[in-house]
A and B are shown apart, each in its own frame.
Chain A
Amino acid sequence: MHFLANPLRFQRIADAVFPWAAGGAALLAPLALWLALVVAPPDYQQGEAVRIMYVHVPAAWMAMFVYLCVAAGSAAGLIWRHPMAEVAARAAAPIGACFTAIALFTGSVWGKPMWGTWWVWDARLTSVLILFFLYLGYMALHDAFEDPQRGARAASILGLVGLVNLPVIKFSVDWWNTLHQPASIVRLDGPTIDPSMLWPLFTMMGFFKLFFVAVLVLRIRAQLAERRLANLRLGAEGRA
């Protein structure tokens, strides 16, 4: 873990990972779309509208997964003062917020034909909306201080506090009898989805994951470059 604390070393590894993630995402995107839009059968009840699932479910998973990454980075930053963990957490937050927004939007679009409403205040939807606000708060807190170090640490504490929301999201469909359907893939008795729909879903999931890694690397690079630029400017001002 401390092996990665050196920004240069981290960047070398990130540079090595990036082409694989970006290339894999570029390859998987058309494949996953083809599987989801053409190969996968329409649902016997929902018809073609079920295809929204192939965007909605991976986006919702990623929304939670990325928050977990943000919280893990925050914890590593607070406990071990790991500089790159903080950078990574900060870089991941806007991506996670976008995934959350996508999940909320596609859920709304899916809900209109299926439930007859764009939005209901059921437990799953509300807790995901809270997740979205937590992302926004995390990002806003980062920028709220003159001292970037201070902002990063304060945001890290908030990131850890927000962790209480994740189990609520995960189990909201079990604890409350909601309009949102209960878990149908990660279950003790195996998924209740037909394999013909499961495989396109997993392919899409792979694409979302690789896309996330690629964008994360780009954003981390941009942040490191920004920091270096600020240091150079400070140095130039010191000499002048």
Chain B
Amino acid sequence: MHVFTNLKLMQIIDSAFLVALLSIIAMLLWLNLTKVSTDVQHNMQVSNTSLQQSHAAFVQQLALENAIDQQRTTFDTLNDEFFKFAFDPNSTPDNLPLLHTLSQTLQQQGQALLAIWPIADRPDLKNDYEEAMGIMSNLSVELEGLPPAHWRQLAIDARDTANQAKLLMAEIEKIDNELGKQIGDTILQSIQNTDASAAQMAEQLAHLKQRALWGTLIIITLLIMSRLYFSTRFQHMTQMARNAQQVAEEALKTKARFLATMSHEIRTPMNGVIGMTRLLMNTPMSKKQTEFVDSIHLSGEHLLTVINDVLDFSKIEAGKLDLKREPFELRACIEEILNLLNAKALEKHLELAYAVGPSIPLFIEGDMVRLRQILTNLIGNAIKFTDRGEITIFVIPRCQKGEDYELEFQINDTGPGIPTERLESIFEQFSRADDNLARRHEGTGLGLTISRHLVEMMGGTIWAESAVGVGSRFHFTIKTRKAVGKLKPFLHSNIPEIVGKRILLVENNPASSQAMQDFCIGWGAVVDTASTSSDAISRIAVGKPYDIALVDSNLPGDSPLELAKYIRQRFSKQELPLILIAPPNDRHSKETVRELYNLYLTKPITRSRLFDSLMTVLGELNLISSRPEQSTLKLGERLPLSILLAEDNPINQIVASSILDEMSYKTDVAESGLQVLQALHKKAYDVIFMDMQMPDMDGLEATRRIRADFPPNQQPIIIAMTANAMEGDRQECLNAGMNDYISKPVLPEAVEMALQRWCITNSQPQPRKEPDYVTTSA
């Protein structure tokens, strides 16, 4: 955190420095250019004024020269006319008007000249000129009044005045020329000034350029230095951050390793606690104690689930989880999961069905345990959060290249759905769709996160879609390839017994219907599907022949029975065998079903069960009598019995009671023959598993006493357990009144077979002298 605060500060300083330098450059440029531009403007103004003045003076000089030239001409003309008039003997006053006109012209021109008089500092000159002008213009008037004798004198005067005037004008012209020269000098001066100012400007600009160059160089140097400084600092800080990250990652891994180790260490004794609790549950306890122990057991199971989740999660986090790549049978994997979860689904009356695309190979390569974990989690969640309806699982091939496949799994439910805003985070750790719902259901909230990690490790992705109030659909993909494995019989295609058989499938669940159709077609059968009983009846009514009919018990109302009655009116059980596809807790009366149907096919439908059923009816075996109800329920749930275990060896007590516990039987334990008798006096038992040799009173003696002392309705089935696997011992047991005999080591199959043999067929167990079957497990 410290590093990142510093980094931020450094960035701010760096940016501020950069901005300051750029501002300085901009300001200097602005100031210098402003000065240059002001100078230029000023010089332009001065030069303009001077040129304008020079132009005006020049124009005036031209006008003056022009006026002086005209005046001279007029003076000369007037002078000539005077002389002509004065010295011509023929002159008469009639000639005077011409002189008058000329005098007037002279006067007008004189006025014009005066108007543009160039020199202000010579009033004497102007007065002389005005006088000369006045004399000259008055001469013609004077002439009119003079006698001809005086005309000559006047002409001479006129010539003198004209000469004087010309002299004056010459002087004016001279002055004016001087003025013109002055103007030329001014213009030259102005041009020189402009030149000088341009040169100065050029010099200023050059100076500015140089300064800008230096300034830029200095700034670039400063920038490079600051860059170097900051980049060193940044590098340092990045390194620090990287180190911190490494430390954190290492710590995380260590933590995950620690968690993984601890979870493993916790799990081992936890298994012990749960195992021992289950054994404790089999011992006599008060009601209160039973409640406490049940509570310990439930909590233990929950804790174990939590620990397993944590272990998986920490393994994934620590990168210690490796996936196997082994061939496994995908359909069997899904069927196993459905078998496992079926009990929970049945409790809520939910339908479970699955369909795998027919093009998907039987065996694929991958880690079955982990795939099962993902599916169990998703299907388990679907069951958990759905209160009515169905859960369907589809597997479809997304793409196939040679032997490589990408498969998509879809898990659909009809639950409450997940709000859109929660869908995105649902696969994040410690996240669940609804905290309220979560409180209803125990768990770590790690299940979906673990699934996401596992899916990603399998080269796939996981996502979910949902419509609130309608249901959810979880998808995930995995990358796998076709594999080769050992085929179970029902995995072969075109089974000779089934090939060509015509099967009518009456099923209203499309997923189940599709799955069964795929299986049957795979085995070579010809399948007709109907979704209602009336649909099925109409097919039979038109005379379509069928070899077997499969009917789902979930068809509405009594239609499974009505359909069967309709068929039985036409065909016997041998002509058209009927199989009822039903859950273990089917709602229809078992009596009626047995009358009409050949066989039950227990849900969830798996390929192996369907195969067994078809083979059974095709083999004309009626399983209703020999296999009354196939069930996924444990024996103890289907066939509740009170059992006493008589065994003195503590190890063997645990072995036997845990085997019985696996079958959902709680057993009471007696350690000697005497304790057996005492227990029987307190409570009636259906079955006693009796060790032969015990202290105080051995099993044979105890059996003899039981058979002798207790009334027939309290006689238990007694099954011997002994390590003396000799014919003599067996006979001795039977002679003592025991029903059956299993040898040690006690194996679950032997126990289950003995219980089924003696307790299912004999609703009223009676002691027998000679058993018709002896189960051994040698």
The answer on A and B forming one complex is no
| B interface, CB within 8 angstroms of A | none
| A interface, CB within 8 angstroms of B | none
